[in-house]
Structure 1
């Protein structure tokens, strides 16, 4: 009789959770299994555009609150003070729709983060303008009052006079879009490296740092230095963003094991309530708890489960880096010269992210990816395919 009562209680919990509690929760969560059942892509796109406009408005207000001369002087003084711990370069090109304000948002968020950060004592940031029209990128020109700007196509490229790639940087013709993208990336990376910092953070102009970004990076750097293994200590880079649409549960061994682990945790949690009961009852609680947690996680999907790791910087995971994507990359200085030489030879063959991944495999190097993402991507409309819209659910997020 008690076993029947227990079974009825568990079934009731199951029904209430997955019919009354979870669906209303999931319809508000991008990437959940219910999200597109109650919203269509056009409505989500409009919401993403409204969120973008709101962030842009806040970013303009942020710069209005700054004293332009002292804001820029903050970085110039850091550069003069001696050895730099970190250089942040924001690579940018003019977009067809200049009202999106991607660059303004990225610079505002990173500027605030760097000025409040205590992990990297001496840091420098600059906007890396790679637009072929020297004065056509109005958004970058407006920000030059507040932040140092470097130009790829300006005659006086300063430190690049002695660069082995300077001829490549000045070429403007006979390159397709992706080839130019790689050369732009090289230019900004070398410009940052020429300041001789310990680390370079190279980010694209449609990428926003989340508030804990530098805290988490610093935590992971300290963790890596604890290991004597050369691949772990001498990593090639840390990827700080990976597309959320590819972070869900999938038919891959690692992620299948994650689902099983979630089931074990769930079974253990439910087993607490049956610790003084009969073995059969304990078994029932454990199996039900495992199934309950697994179904819950699968309906939320992995992207939302990962959000629980944001509770503390120590909970973020460090995984082997996948091949795709370069919106936010954190490089130690030792790897940059070799990477630049490789990209110079490879720029006619592959997209930038694939070329960087090939560099890893050819040189037998190790690189990492942090989960959950430390940066958010706001570029629903890309600078390469002007009329192409990405999956809008990727751009419905909170800045915490």
Structure 2
């Protein structure tokens, strides 16, 4: 090892690599961080909490204006006759009012954004092979005061769990009571959607905003996996997650695909760097291993600094590049269920009680642990963005650094 170190520092390569490292970490990474999150210098972290909230609110305002502009032009009303038609995918948005002016006077209008974006994507997806229908599932227990929902029900078929505003207790619900209601809401919405002749269910929360390629990628994977509803499925799949928190998608993880990805990217970059370097700075054969090792360490550290989330986003170039991996635990903002898969999940959820520290996602993960045969997958990169800074679970504004 000492011999290698002496050889390394004697080579001009050591100075070149030092210069490249300084330029990378004092110029390159900071410039990347101006545009991309989840780098080693995540730009959001440089803002204070209040600044970050203000920034995210301004972005939210822009999305609201875009959604309202689209919905103003959209005049399609879903007819009841479409209930008789078999639909491959029923997209169901679970919604509840947020921030009833308890926290501030801001109206986040997440449902408006999600409905507008979903309808827009369904209209744009001209080459889709499967059929889709959009539903809203209102689980607010004060439905008469949910003003944001009213105009949307004229556009999208809506299920209501509560038809009167008499079920909300006078006192504030505990977290455990809210988690139990959230589980019951989830079951209700899924079961109601399957009453409308759908083969698969995309169950999404009203603060999960679809990305531009959502329909295209779902359409491709459901066809590839034989989940079109017209033929027996090729694979025994319980559900496919379409979102996992970005902060949990980095290289440092217990998920088995992460570290191999890091080293593969490092090897690819190393090969390119070594080839280019040897063209301009030929090195004796006995020193080439040192050059290769130096670039490999540099490349792996560079990949870590840029962040897996940013490298993975390159896959958005084409639906064929998206990655299908085993689903990690946690979180249910957007999941596609097969009919049999949802029946299995809902049957289990009915047998358990959710409480603080044991939400519906934990209950689902526990079922998967007890039944390894339940196959759950995750599509990466994410097909949704979580925009819910106003939490319906705890009636508070979330820390912007974990949204």
Distance 1:223 1:53 in 2: 37
Q: Does the CA-based 8 Å contact 1:231-1:366 persist in structure 2?
A: no
281-290 or 331-340: which moved more? 281-290
Find the counterpart in structure 2 of residue 397 from structure 1.
none
Distance 1:150 1:138 in 2: 16
Answering whether residue 238 of structure 2 is matched by residue 236 of structure 1, we say: yes
Find the counterpart in structure 1 of residue 160 from structure 2.
151
Distance 1:385 1:351 in 2: 13
1:280–1:43 Cα change, 3 Å: farther
- 1:348 is displaced (CA, Å) by 4.4
Q: Which residues in structure 2 correspond to 1:260-275 (within 5 Å)?
A: 260-273=263-276, 274=278
Pick from 78, 91, 96 the counterpart of residue 94 of structure 2. 91
- 1:393 is displaced (CA, Å) by 6.7
Q: Which residues in structure 2 correspond to 1:200-211 (within 5 Å)?
A: 200-211=201-212
Find the counterpart in structure 1 of residue 140 from structure 2.
131
TM-score (norm 1): 0.84
Q: Which runs of 5+ in 2 are unaligned?
A: 1-9, 101-105
- 1:272 is displaced (CA, Å) by 2.2
Distance 2:368 2:132 in 1: 27
1:12-42 CA-to-partner distances (Å, cap 9, x unmatched) read 3222222222222224422222125633232
Answering whether residue 371 of structure 2 is matched by residue 363 of structure 1, we say: yes
Pick from 371, 376, 397 the counterpart of residue 385 of structure 2. 376
Find the counterpart in structure 2 of residue 165 from structure 1.
none
SS in 1 for 2:204: strand
Q: Which runs of 5+ in 1 are unaligned?
A: 156-169, 395-400
Distance 2:402 2:37 in 1: 5
TM-score (norm 2): 0.84
Distance 1:99 1:171 in 2: 24
1:351–1:251 Cα change, 3 Å: closer
Distance 2:70 2:88 in 1: 26
Q: Does the CA-based 8 Å contact 1:183-1:347 persist in structure 2?
A: no
Find the counterpart in structure 2 of residue 282 from structure 1.
288
- 1:341 is displaced (CA, Å) by 1.7
Q: Does the CA-based 8 Å contact 2:225-2:233 persist in structure 1?
A: no
274-283 or 10-19: which moved more? 274-283
Find the counterpart in structure 2 of residue 167 from structure 1.
none
1:204-233 CA-to-partner distances (Å, cap 9, x unmatched) read 01111111112222333344349xxx9981
Find the counterpart in structure 2 of residue 20 from structure 1.
27
Higher helix fraction (1 or 2): 1
Q: Does the CA-based 8 Å contact 1:31-1:393 persist in structure 2?
A: no
Answering whether residue 227 of structure 2 is matched by residue 213 of structure 1, we say: no
Pick from 77, 90, 113 the counterpart of residue 72 of structure 1. 77
56-65 or 110-119: which moved more? 110-119
SS in 1 for 2:396: coil
Distance 2:38 2:157 in 1: 38
Aligned residues: 370
Find the counterpart in structure 2 of residue 10 from structure 1.
17
SS in 2 for 1:369: strand
